[in-house]
A and B are shown apart, each in its own frame.
Chain A
Amino acid sequence: MSVAAPEASVPQLLNDIETLRRSLRLYPEFHPALEPARERIRAGSAEVAGDATDGTLSIAPDKIFWNGNEIALSPQSPAARLAQFLFHLGVAAVRLSFPAAAEGLAGLATRLAGLHDPPGEGDRRELFDAAAAIDGLEFVPIDLSSVHLMDSDSSSSRLGSLMVLPELARRLSRDGAFPLAGKIDAGELTPGMLVDLLVSASDPETLFDHLFLQLGEILRAVPEAQRRPVLAEVRDFFLDLVRLLDAERQKLAIAVGLRHLPLCGGDEDETIWVAAELFLDAVEFMIIQQAPVPPVVHRALHRMAAPAEEQSPRLDDALAARARHLLAQLPPTPDDEAFGAVPEPAAAPVDWGGAPWVRELGAALEEEQIRSHLVRLLQEAVTIWPDQPAGARAAVRLAEEFANALDIGDFAIAAQLSAVLAATRSAEVREVVNGSGVPAAIRAFKAFDREHHPEVMAILASLGEGALPAVLDALVEEDSLAVRKRLLEVVARHGDRALPYLYPLLDDSRWYVVRNAVFLLRRLGDRQMVPLVKERLATAQPQVLGEMLKALVAVEDRQWYALLVRYLDHEDEARRQVALDVASRITHPRVVRAIQQRLSARLGMQLRDPFSVELVRALGRLRAPSSLPLLRSIVGLRQWRFPFPLTTVRREAALAVANLEGAEARKLAESLARDRDPEVAAAIREVLERRPEAEEAE
């Protein structure tokens, strides 16, 4: 079996998996292209495996590692997309057991194709729940347990956790050369720990000598591959140490450091480089600190900055350039007398306090100023780069800023941006507006006082027709009745433009979606809905039927009365009740008559039927004077003639009488206040007592 380098075979395998995943999202399972794709994965798996029985693919957001070695991926490659997808599923690594993994990887592509992209928590659970069933693969979830959370009080960086220092501490402790030996435990050491010792030492040179001797040995012992990170740690340590020392000991530290980390004449090129880097770091530090630079350092720097042909051994070009740059920053000759003096704290070189340009900058850096300037710039970008990605991205960002403005209740900015966004045709912008802006507006209805609701409604309406689908979706999902009412109002403000979005909703499987759609069609006075509504009347749920009947009445369809009456007589009680509910709000004489007729027909034993009571209540709501004789006959009924209690129907009839205008009705109502049935009398008295207050209020 041929074994390909993982640098090539692993990305290829991941490309194949991603290709299959995407194909499975586009094509049906039986598509002829899929099996060859699976075959490629199996072959790729065998190639990656070579002779090994297992391997580990580790995943970072923008990198992958095969058995611990980074594998370069082109950021736009399918493999990179797959790695990112897996990372966002919470997968830190996949352990593969060969040859079973060949089948498992093809299966993985199928599993992944069934998940959402980008994935959510549900997808993550689904993948990990199914992990056991995928042959040859073991998923390692992202685990942050090795991330140490450091409290803000102790968050300054600690060198003790790095690689070199535990080793240095171990050596110093072993040799017993330092009185700190007993204190250096658990392999921890910090520059601060050493400084106390060095400051109090009568012979600091010996201590430095030992310290840098050990450091030099550690550096030489480090394997090639780890040298750079180790160097970085030594440099950190060196500079921290030097920074903490007084000027005299700084000089000594540098001189001794150079002795053991020789600048020239070392037996390894890398050592020379290490020393040179350290040396230049130290010089730079002294310049920054305005510390006097010793003559010996000057001379060494001159040697490093010399032309290449004069250097022996030859120094790296970059180091030489850096030496020249540092040399240019030093005074031409060191002042020997000044050398060793403690540097004075640096003073500010200028004083610009109160300058107008300073004040202007200070004010412009306030968060609100920056935000409004950015919004302005984004609007300009949309205008000046309309056909370029900059303009498109600016428009997307504007949509995000629009949502942000709603989040924080900045309705002025939101209103300003809504008009701009409404004019944008970009699908991406529309997606952000609908996906983030509209939900933010709906949150704003709940988060901010009612006084702001008209503003939010105006903003939503000004987003234009493009936002209608999102508003209608929100209408479906929203729990709050108050918010739903406002959203219905927003849709209604779009007028006829909303119609094409509403017709398809008439066939939605959710009754409340259909009801909202019919309600809106009625609000918009749309006559074209009539045939659509009529077609669906027979199968409509009772909750929707009422809205449909109201809609037919509102547009004065010529069949509205016939249909209303048909449902008033419907055999299904729920539908009958809905029709009566609609009819009780239509003061048309024919409707009133229809109700009166149905109630008249029920005088007798059918009065015990709850629908009869509803008919009485409907007449009460309609307040038609022509209902008085019929209502009078009901209140006049004698209990002894009926085998069921008349109280309810008589009470409702009495209340309906009390609702009627005219002296005759009033007189009857007043007499009913003294009715023999105390329940009827009490109900009427209550109404009559409230009436003067209501009249006064009018």
Chain B
Amino acid sequence: MIPRTDWEVLVHDTIAELAAGTTTIGLYGAGHPRAAQALDRLEAQLRRLFADEPELAFVLLGEELFVQGRPFTRSSRQVPAVIRRMRRRDLEHVIFKQGVTREEVKAFIEELAATDETVVQSRPHIQVGRIELSERELGGPDKSEGGENRKKLPTIRDRVSLVHETFAAFARGGGLAVGDLETVVRAHLECLEENPDPLRLFAPWEGEERWPAVHAHNVCVLTVGMALLAGVRPVLAVDLGMGALVHDIGKLFLPPQVAARELELTGDDFEMILDHPRRSFEELLPIGQIAPLALIVAAEHHLNYNATGYPRLSRPRRPHPASRLVTVADAFDVLFTARGGRGMMTREATMAWLGDREGAVLDPGWTLALRQLLDRGQDGAHVQPASS
């Protein structure tokens, strides 16, 4: 075990209590006795820390969490959970200051753990918010990327490009820029708030090279869009969208010749040959910042509604409902964008394909929902394959 300084132990324990407190309140609610115990512990930990420090500052910069200006991401098991919580609430910095009261801590943790639209507020002794880099000298990356740290992603093409770049960096062996992918999902959420029809936000077929990004983008849009139409809270829809974005990430590691052949394969062979859900799951598992729901979706999106499919489970069961939604969106996008977009499949054939698999491969509820959405699109004449 690596020896830690007293300061590190204090910070580590505070992070552990912060993570445990948020999870406890998220699971049991703030009124549960265990929540009160968790808050007691966090409060005590902060008191201990403030004996020597005037404040405790967490800053999230890219994929790194800095505590008091020191990189801390790999120092503590609970850090990825804290990062996930901060991202979910759109926070890039949290500063606890000396004098923080129990009421402030309680209210902050409640807001951090919430899954509704509650905004995490700053308080006299807890400052929260986002960050901006005014100087571009922190080692160079911001300068080299032209300030892309604050990506606004106004267009579909920007989003696809960001997904493409993120995937490419990951496939080369770099880390997965989870924050960037979440920015894409949030950009979709923003657009869907203005216009809830997800099919308007589909990206077109842009060739083999960008297909993984286009597909991830479209599955994400459709999944998030349908989830919002179903009344899912936006905070939860972000995790769903992340799952949809990374569901096929295992395919990035396929040999190019197999990847190229993938779209030529049909029917059941299509996914049986390629066990990319396993690879997606495998690649995502070590990334602590990835939401658990995204892991589930990546592993299960080819597990059929009737419990067949892949992976083959020793005790067959239905996939998680989120996985079923992504499965429907996934199948539709392959047919609509990859095949339809190149004139290889008609709209009628797409509908027939979905209808054939409804209740067996595909969740009948979500398939029906998609059909209703497509029917609406037909009325409005805006939901058409790009080749039409």
Partner-B contacts on A (CB < 8 A): 58-63, 65, 68, 70, 74-76, 87-88, 90, 92-93, 116, 118-122, 124-125, 142-144, 146-155, 157-158, 161-163, 226, 228-230, 232-233, 235-236, 239-240, 280-281, 284-285, 287-290, 318, 321-322, 324-325, 328-329, 331, 346-350, 352-353, 355-358, 360-362, 364-365, 367-368, 370-371, 373-374, 377, 380-381, 383-385, 388-390, 393-394, 396-397, 400, 403-404, 407-410, 435-436, 443, 447-448
Question: For residue B119, which residues in chain A have a CB less than 8 angstroms away from its CB?
Answer: 152
Q: Which among A88, A158, A288, A435 is the interface contact of B191 at CB below 8 angstroms?
A: A288
- Confirm or deny: B227 has a beta carbon within 8 angstroms of a beta carbon on chain A: yes
Chain B contacts of A352 at CB under 8 A? Answer: 229-231, 369, 372
Q: How far, in whole Å, are A116 and B295 apart by their CA atoms in the complex?
A: 32
Residues of B within 8 A of A436 (CB): 77
Is the pair A147, B133 in contact by a Cβ cutoff of 8 Å? Answer: yes
How many residues of chain B are within 8 Å of chain A by beta carbon? 127
CB <8 Å contact, B71 and A355: no
A371 (CB) vs chain B CBs: closest residue: B292
Min CB distance B78 to A, Å, is: 7
Interfacial residues of chain B within 255-307, with CB under 8 A of chain A in the complex: 278-279, 281-282, 285-286, 292-293, 295-296, 299-300
The 9 closest A-B pairs by CB, nearest first: A229-B146, A357-B365, A325-B204, A75-B173, A146-B135, A65-B140, A390-B282, A393-B285, A349-B376
Residues on A with beta carbons closer than 8 Å to the beta carbon of B20 = 407-408
Query: Of all chain A residues, which has the CB nearest B197?
Result: A349
27 residue pairs from A and B, CB less than 8 Å apart: A68-B143, A88-B74, A93-B139, A120-B8, A121-B4, A142-B66, A142-B138, A144-B61, A147-B133, A148-B134, A149-B129, A150-B129, A228-B146, A232-B148, A290-B195, A321-B207, A346-B194, A348-B229, A350-B229, A357-B364, A361-B232, A362-B232, A364-B320, A389-B282, A394-B281, A396-B285, A409-B24
Which A residue sits closest to B8, measured CB to CB? Answer: A121
Residue interface bits B231-273, CB-to-A below 8 A is 1, else 0: 1100010011000000000000000000000000000000000
CA distance A21 to B75 in the complex (A): 21
Bits for B192-207, please: 1 = Cβ < 8 Å to A, else 0: 0011110011011111
Tell whether, in the assembled complex, residue A364 and residue B322 are in contact, meaning their CB atoms are under 8 Å apart.
yes
Stretch at the interface among B46-54, B99-107, B308-316, B346-354: B308-316
* Residues in chain B near residue A357, CB distance under 8 A: 230, 321, 363-366, 369
Given the known inter-chain contacts A284-B155, A408-B27, please indicate yes or no for A75 contacting B369, CB distance below 8 A: no
Asked if A358 and B231 sit within 8 Å, CB to CB, the answer is: yes
A328 CA / B205 CA spacing, docked (Å): 12
A370 and B206 alpha carbons, distance in the complex (Å): 35
What are the residues of chain A within 8 A of B201 when measuring CB–CB? Answer: 288
CB distance from A150 to the nearest CB of B (A): 5
Q: How far is the CA of A448 from the CA of B34 in the complex (A)?
A: 8
List, in ascending order, chain B residues with CB within 8 A of A151's CB.
122, 127-129
Instruction: List chain A residues, Cβ under 8 A from B31.
Output: none
Inter-chain contact B300/A377, CB cutoff 8 Å: yes
**The one of A150, A229, A370, A373 that contacts B145, using a Cβ cutoff of 8 Å:** A229
Find chain A residues with CB under 8 A from B19 CB. Answer: 407
B281 CB contact (under 8 Å) in A120, A147, A390: A390
Cα–Cα, bound, A280→B154 (Å): 12
Assembly CA distance A437 to B213 (angstroms): 38
List A contacts of B292 (CB < 8 A).
370-371, 374
**CB-defined contacts of A120 to chain B, threshold 8 Å:** 2-5, 8, 75
Question: B131 near A404 (CB under 8 angstroms)?
Answer: no
- Which A residues lie within 8 Å of B93 (CB)? 147, 149
User: Most B CB atoms within 10 A — which of A65, A331, A350?
Assistant: A350
What is the bound-complex CA distance between A87 and B138, given in angstroms?
Answer: 12
User: CA of A352 to CA of B376 in the docked complex: distance in angstroms?
Assistant: 13
- Could you tell me the distance in whole angstroms from the C-beta of A495 to the nearest C-beta in chain B? 27
Q: Are A90 and B16 closer than 8 Å at their CB atoms?
A: no
Find chain B residues with CB under 8 A from A232 CB: 146-148
Known: A152-B121, A355-B369, A407-B20. A60 touches B173 (CB 8 A): no
In Å, the complex CA distance between A74 and B171 comes to: 11
Q: Which residues of B contact A393 (CB under 8 A)?
A: 282, 285-286
**Cβ-closest chain B residue relative to A229:** B146
Given A350-B229, A355-B365, do A122 and B3 touch, yes or no (CB 8 Å)? yes
Contact A407 B145 (CB under 8 A): no
Name which residue of chain B comes closest to A437, CB basis. Answer: B77
Contact residue among A150, A229, A400 (Cβ-Cβ distance under 8 Å from B130) = A150
CB B134 to nearest CB in A, in angstroms, measures 6
User: Residue on B with the closest CB to A144?
Assistant: B69
Beyond known contacts A58-B139, A325-B203, A348-B196: 20 more, CB 8 A cutoff = A60-B138, A120-B4, A121-B4, A149-B93, A152-B128, A161-B132, A229-B146, A288-B194, A321-B204, A324-B204, A331-B381, A349-B197, A350-B373, A353-B231, A357-B363, A364-B320, A370-B296, A377-B300, A383-B314, A407-B23
B194: chain A residues within 8 A (beta carbon): 288-289, 346
In the assembly, what is the distance between CA of A396 and CA of B282, in Å?
11
Contact present for A239 and B154 (CB under 8 Å):
yes
Name B23's contact: one of A144, A240, A328, A404 (CB within 8 Å): A404
Residue of B nearest to A163 (CB): B147
Shortest C-beta distance, A15 to chain B (Å), equals 16
A152 neighbours in B (Cβ, 8 Å):
91, 119-122, 128-130
A408-B25 Cα distance, complex, nearest whole Å: 9
Looking across the interface, which residue of chain B has its beta carbon closest to that of A284? Answer: B155
Tell whether, in the assembled complex, residue A90 and residue B384 are in contact, meaning their CB atoms are under 8 Å apart. no
Neighbouring B residues of A88 by C-beta, 8 Å: 71, 74
A403 and B77 within 8 A (CB): yes
Q: Tell me the chain B residues, 1-46 only, with Cβ under 8 Å from chain A.
A: 1-5, 7-8, 16, 19-20, 23-24, 26-27, 34, 37-38, 41
Nearest CB in chain B: distance from A136 CB, A = 20
Please give, as numbers and ranges, the residues of chain A lying within 8 Å of B157 by CB-CB distance. Answer: 280-281, 284, 322
* Residue pair A90, B299 in contact (C-beta under 8 Å): no
For B137, list chain A residues within 8 Å (CB).
146
**Could you tell me the distance between the alpha carbons of A157 and B376 in the complex, rounded to whole angstroms?**
35
Contacts of B320 in A (CB 8 A): 364, 370, 373
Contact A364 B37 (CB under 8 A): no
Whole-angstrom distance from the CB of A369 to the nearest CB of chain B? 9
A58-B140, A400-B77 given; A146·B229 CB < 8 A: no
Which chain B positions have C-beta within 8 A of A59?
139
**Contact A148–B312 (Cβ < 8 Å):** no
Query: Hey, which chain B residues are within 8 Å of A356, CB to CB?
Result: 365
Cβ of B316 to closest chain A Cβ, rounded Å:
11
How far, in Å, is A686 (CB) from chain B's closest CB?
41
CA distance A394 to B382 in the complex (A): 43
Distance in angstroms from A463 CB to nearest chain B CB is 17
Q: How far, in angstroms, from A63 to B369 measured CA to CA in the complex?
A: 45
Given A321-B206, A322-B204, A362-B232; A374-B296 close (CB under 8 Å): yes
Q: Nearest Cβ distance between residue A189 and chain B, in whole angstroms?
A: 16
Q: A357-B363, A357-B366 are in contact. Are A148 and B139 (CB under 8 A)?
A: no
Interface residues of B in 77-112 (CB under 8 A from A): 77-78, 81, 90-91, 93, 95
Cross-chain contact B204 with A407 (CB below 8 angstroms):
no
Closest to B113 in A: A367
Which residues of B have CB within 8 Å of A239? 154-155
Contact of B5 among A122, A281, A410 (CB under 8 A): A122
Is B23's CB under 8 angstroms from A143's CB? no
Bound Cα distance from A229 to B115, whole angstroms:
35
Q: Are A162 and B230 in contact (CB under 8 A)?
A: no
Checking A58, A349, A362 against B373 with a beta-carbon cut-off of 8 angstroms, the contacting residue is A349
Residue of B nearest to A236 (CB): B152
Q: How far is the CA of A358 from the CA of B369 in the complex (A)?
A: 10
- Contact between chains at A362 and B155 (CB < 8 Å): no
Beyond A381-B299, A408-B24, is A146–B133 a contact (Cβ under 8 Å)? yes
**Contact at B152–A157, with CB atoms within 8 Å?**
yes
Residue B386 at the chain A interface, CB threshold 8 Å: yes
Q: Could you tell me if B144 and A70 are in contact, using CB atoms closer than 8 angstroms?
A: yes
Among candidates B7, B140, B150, B365, residue contacting A70 with C-beta atoms closer than 8 Å: B140
